[in-house]
Chain A
């Protein structure tokens, strides 16, 4: 079957091609489409019966006709050849080289869709990764094997934050990073892609990075493949070669939009804002590929970047992502406008794995309590700030005024830091105590009395 070209197209429209009378085609199999000019495109069988086969064409159906379109059914799913040589290479969104160098030759070709992990085979992630960023390490820490997205918006420095994490991420006690990196961009601008490339080059890790790029002006449907190809590479590096892999993917919004585009063409019933009901499951197939496996050394830690349409965290894309990932780092415009870098809005940010990866045997015994106290005190301080905006700061009582000062110091000194500033988690915790010491001891009930005695620097009772 692989070698036969069929010329039985019965309709072509908006990326979908219907082939008549091709019996026995496997669901999900890859196809090769040759158009009247001899150009090759690739596609996927998404529905099949003996009398009609529906094919999704990744490069789109523009300039196809029905009479001079030849289709070969390759009888296998999309596969990515994997070998150690993928490190240091640049691929397109479908996993073909785009760096002008020869293709990866390997007898080991993997289905890009992967297979779901047996839940009984997972190992729970517990190893604290120090990113050197206080807002993350102190309050929303990252764990090896976690999926922790950055929720951002147009014009916010998510790329810089992601690059800083990649540069600085290491386990406690390690001199430098042990990670290799899989970078996937879909719908990203050339400028964004260049930014990351340069950043990897500057920190001298280019030979430890595998890149999968589908840029803004490249085929939309191919984006459905890009994260899958990238994660297939990551799984190979992590679970066959024992690497700790850091996967950075940008921008999940472009991915979801591509999915919606295809869903509309297929006529799928929309759920919210035109996105298909299966967006959740589809995103989960991607995000759940992060993690650790029992008795294997490697790991996949995932940092997807996602821009929230109109800064709306309840939009289906961030919403469904938040329902799948193990927390989120939220960047905010307000802080960014005040020149706070990184503009991490800590209250809606969350790391679900932090509770099992910080504290006594991991970082420092006071860490969980300090984090909880910072959240509580900052939430209270924001309330006071809101009040001050109404009644005027001068009308505030003494205690409230201290909270106001705390809020400002917290934003400037704790959240704010340099793009090259790599703080150890101990520096972060000590800084937190400097700030908490601005508040009266009695107001700090989330830290223990022993911790207060040991770390609180204020004299007031």
Chain B
């Protein structure tokens, strides 16, 4: 037993020899939990996950002997945990609507029985290696939870329980380890959150993550196993976009980490997820989702831990051979938590108060994303999507600029677009994706061989229009040639009829790849038909008044993804719309 020497905000100095850096400590009469971040002589410096008010020098402290770890097993899905994996629903039942301190509730329910089905290929006497699948538990209708051997365990399987109902603490098997000792197997195991879970090797990411959002999937794709960032000033739509991804993406598991953001946003997710259906499986979304929540008013040290808790949970499902998406809102709050602790430690700040290791910590965190071959030989992935909240919306600040160097897909949100309520406010000029080549293969095979060129054509149009707009802003639209005016109009058609996609529009909230391509092709078809006419001498003024332009802008909200046929009929009719004018100008030409 040690004792408290000094309390300074979330940091406490303890007289506690022999503790290890990273070790968990229990401090004071309230039994607050924290972790050791420094040693000096007989003292240990610890940061606590809970508010330290009321602690006194002289109160007891003890080392617990293990680092911050999470429990991994059935019971995770559909739950909401705090930044150190306390189950918030259960905590509420025990201690009421407000977060009382020192509450100890196990992360996974202890009394619940799960139907365990042993793996048919596992037999007593066989060799067992870390990551091997012992059997399965059908945790939710849509998710078959594979029970894994703890990653570092190797030995001989002595016994595996028959099919039956077990709590997570009951033994479902025994293993003889290399040193001859015998260990029990259970439905769950623990893993330290700051250590990446091992896998056999990294794989190439191959398939795009379909989010149903056109500006993302069609223009700046992300792959399953990829890394993306969503920077943007307040109110630009980072949270909405992440929620859209959590709702609609074709991953098997979604981990939503609310890191230092609003309580109501998590309530929102908790309320809509059970009601919405996964468009890919038809099951309630909550069955595949879990939340980690350290809201902005909760203690800052647990905020720093929360994204590690999230990513470890993600890796665990990856190790079962699943495709996992983790969204983190917002990584800036995590970085600020890091900064706050660094400041109290008196570490030298380098830029805007951030410690020198900000960049390397960020990089190491994003490195935990990826598509891998698991220890058991399956394939799984973790896709990581982090929101970034730059102060003043300035992308040159440290967190945004470091993140930009790490990720491959950059969805930059723009204040101007958000102000005009053009959502998602993803800036089509500032954003980028390093995955277009791989995505193109998938689109060519699964949707349309012309995807890549159509995408490029639309982007060219958008950047050409940016140039033209600059001229217009100086001298007015009359100064443009008809060709230029038509280009401008077509770009605006693409912005309004394709890029703009309201999350609140029931029909358009999700667009299948087929619908995305159909709309893209439609807008380009209108552009080409018009351009033909302009080249024949038709003035853009006349073209701009064509009713099809207003109509095409509404197509996205008139046809669901299941109703592509009707949309295609309209597209097929586009040339007809131009025929009358065409006739007129072909004659004069």
The 0/1 profile, CB within 8 Å of B marked 1, for residues 97-138 of chain A is: 000000000000000011111111111110000000000000
A348 to B263 CA separation, bound complex (whole angstroms):
23
A29 touches B268 (CB 8 A): no
Judge if B282 is at the interface, Cβ distance under 8 Å: no
A116 touches B297 (CB 8 A): yes
B339 touches A277 (CB 8 A): yes
A319 touches B234 (CB 8 A): yes
Given contacts A288-B297, A376-B421, A445-B553, contact A118 B98 (CB under 8 A): yes
B53 touches A27 (CB 8 A): yes
Given contacts A115-B100, A445-B554, contact A27 B55 (CB under 8 A): yes
B472 touches A116 (CB 8 A): no
A272 to B394 CA separation, bound complex (whole angstroms):
12
B476 touches A120 (CB 8 A): no
A280 to B92 CA separation, bound complex (whole angstroms):
26
A284 touches B296 (CB 8 A): yes
Chain A residues, Cβ within 8 Å of B392: 314-316, 319
Judge if B391 is at the interface, Cβ distance under 8 Å: yes
- Whole-angstrom distance between the Cβ of B61 and the nearest chain A Cβ: 14
B100 touches A397 (CB 8 A): no
List A residues 372-386 near B (Cβ within 8 Å).
372, 375-376, 379-380, 383, 386
List A residues 298-319 near B (Cβ within 8 Å).
314-316, 319
Chain A residues, Cβ within 8 Å of B54: 26-29, 77
B56 touches A281 (CB 8 A): no
Instruction: Please give me the residue from chain B that is nearest to A122 by CB atom.
Output: B267
Given contacts A27-B7, A27-B55, A118-B99, contact A319 B391 (CB under 8 A): yes
Given contacts A24-B56, A445-B553, contact A120 B343 (CB under 8 A): no
Judge if A5 is at the interface, Cβ distance under 8 Å: no
Instruction: Please give me the residue from chain B that is nearest to A1 by CB atom.
Output: B56
A121 touches B56 (CB 8 A): no
List A residues 323-366 near B (Cβ within 8 Å).
323-324, 326-328, 347-348, 350, 352-353, 355-356
The 0/1 profile, CB within 8 Å of A marked 1, for residues 551-567 of chain B is: 00110010000000000
A348 to B99 CA separation, bound complex (whole angstroms):
35
Given contacts A124-B264, A326-B264, A350-B235, contact A272 B391 (CB under 8 A): yes
Judge if A285 is at the interface, Cβ distance under 8 Å: yes
Interchain CB contact (< 8 A) of A277 among B263, B353, B389: B353
A117 touches B57 (CB 8 A): no
B5 touches A49 (CB 8 A): yes
Chain B residues, Cβ within 8 Å of A119: 80, 88, 258, 263, 266-267, 270, 293, 295
Chain A residues, Cβ within 8 Å of B13: 49
- Whole-angstrom distance between the Cβ of A127 and the nearest chain B Cβ: 14
Which bucket holds chain B's interface residue count?
A: 35 or more
Interchain CB contact (< 8 A) of A278 among B96, B300, B349, B504: B300
Instruction: Please give me the residue from chain A that is nearest to B337 by CB atom.
Output: A281
Given contacts A116-B98, A395-B476, contact A288 B262 (CB under 8 A): yes
A114 to B452 CA separation, bound complex (whole angstroms):
56
Judge if A14 is at the interface, Cβ distance under 8 Å: no
Interchain CB contact (< 8 A) of A116 among B234, B267, B295, B389: B295
Interchain CB contact (< 8 A) of A115 among B88, B98, B233: B98
A117 touches B56 (CB 8 A): no
Interchain CB contact (< 8 A) of B343 among A269, A288, A314: A269
Chain B residues, Cβ within 8 Å of A264: none
Instruction: Please give me the residue from chain A that is nearest to B55 by CB atom.
Output: A27
* Residue among A115, A125, A322, A347 with most chain B CB within 10 A: A115
Instruction: Please give me the residue from chain B that is nearest to A281 by CB atom.
Output: B300
Interchain CB contact (< 8 A) of B262 among A269, A324, A372, A379: A324
Judge if A270 is at the interface, Cβ distance under 8 Å: yes
Instruction: Please give me the residue from chain A that is nearest to B89 by CB atom.
Output: A120
A355 to B475 CA separation, bound complex (whole angstroms):
38
A63 to B98 CA separation, bound complex (whole angstroms):
41
Chain B residues, Cβ within 8 Å of A327: 235
Overall SS of chain A's interface: mixed
Judge if A241 is at the interface, Cβ distance under 8 Å: no
Given contacts A50-B57, A314-B394, contact A445 B340 (CB under 8 A): no
Judge if A449 is at the interface, Cβ distance under 8 Å: yes
Judge if B393 is at the interface, Cβ distance under 8 Å: yes
Chain B residues, Cβ within 8 Å of A29: 54
List B residues 188-241 near A (Cβ within 8 Å).
233-235
Given contacts A348-B419, A445-B550, contact A386 B97 (CB under 8 A): no
Chain B residues, Cβ within 8 Å of A284: 260, 295-297
A322 touches B234 (CB 8 A): yes
- Whole-angstrom distance between the Cβ of B85 and the nearest chain A Cβ: 14
List A residues 19-50 near B (Cβ within 8 Å).
23-29, 46-50
Judge if A390 is at the interface, Cβ distance under 8 Å: yes
Chain A residues, Cβ within 8 Å of B233: 322
Judge if B576 is at the interface, Cβ distance under 8 Å: no
A50 to B553 CA separation, bound complex (whole angstroms):
71
A356 to B89 CA separation, bound complex (whole angstroms):
24
Instruction: Please give me the residue from chain B that is nearest to A295 by CB atom.
Output: B97
Chain B residues, Cβ within 8 Å of A395: 476, 478
A278 to B297 CA separation, bound complex (whole angstroms):
11
A123 to B258 CA separation, bound complex (whole angstroms):
17
List B residues 89-109 near A (Cβ within 8 Å).
89, 91-92, 96-100
Which bucket holds chain A's interface residue count?
A: 35 or more
- Whole-angstrom distance between the Cβ of B245 and the nearest chain A Cβ: 17
Judge if B298 is at the interface, Cβ distance under 8 Å: yes
Judge if B414 is at the interface, Cβ distance under 8 Å: no
Interchain CB contact (< 8 A) of A23 among B57, B270, B342, B415: B57
Interchain CB contact (< 8 A) of B92 among A118, A269, A368, A445: A118
A396 to B477 CA separation, bound complex (whole angstroms):
9
Judge if B352 is at the interface, Cβ distance under 8 Å: yes
List B residues 460-476 near A (Cβ within 8 Å).
472-476
A288 touches B496 (CB 8 A): no
Chain B residues, Cβ within 8 Å of A352: 235
Chain B residues, Cβ within 8 Å of A272: 352, 391
Judge if A175 is at the interface, Cβ distance under 8 Å: no
- Whole-angstrom distance between the Cβ of A355 and the nearest chain B Cβ: 5
A347 touches B420 (CB 8 A): yes
Interchain CB contact (< 8 A) of B97 among A113, A278, A293, A383: A293
Chain B residues, Cβ within 8 Å of A379: 419-421
B270 touches A120 (CB 8 A): yes
Given contacts A24-B57, A347-B419, contact A291 B264 (CB under 8 A): yes
- Whole-angstrom distance between the Cβ of A187 and the nearest chain B Cβ: 23
- Whole-angstrom distance between the Cβ of B391 and the nearest chain A Cβ: 6
A115 to B293 CA separation, bound complex (whole angstroms):
16
Judge if A268 is at the interface, Cβ distance under 8 Å: yes
Judge if B333 is at the interface, Cβ distance under 8 Å: yes
Judge if B336 is at the interface, Cβ distance under 8 Å: yes
- Whole-angstrom distance between the Cβ of A356 and the nearest chain B Cβ: 8
Judge if B170 is at the interface, Cβ distance under 8 Å: no
Judge if B52 is at the interface, Cβ distance under 8 Å: yes
Judge if B8 is at the interface, Cβ distance under 8 Å: yes
- Whole-angstrom distance between the Cβ of A151 and the nearest chain B Cβ: 11
The 0/1 profile, CB within 8 Å of B marked 1, for residues 283-295 of chain A is: 0110011010110
Chain A residues, Cβ within 8 Å of B419: 347-348, 375, 379
Chain B residues, Cβ within 8 Å of A276: 343
Judge if A442 is at the interface, Cβ distance under 8 Å: yes
Judge if A216 is at the interface, Cβ distance under 8 Å: no
Judge if B23 is at the interface, Cβ distance under 8 Å: no
Cβ contacts A to B, 14 pairs, < 8 Å? A48-B56, A113-B53, A118-B97, A119-B258, A122-B263, A125-B264, A271-B339, A277-B339, A278-B340, A280-B260, A280-B333, A319-B392, A442-B549, A448-B557
Closest 9 CB pairs of A and B: A314-B392, A28-B53, A284-B296, A379-B420, A49-B6, A269-B343, A288-B297, A322-B234, A121-B97
Given contacts A26-B53, A47-B6, A115-B99, 17 further A-B contacts (CB under 8 A): A26-B54, A27-B54, A49-B7, A77-B53, A116-B297, A117-B263, A119-B263, A124-B268, A269-B349, A272-B352, A277-B340, A293-B97, A326-B262, A348-B419, A368-B504, A376-B420, A442-B549
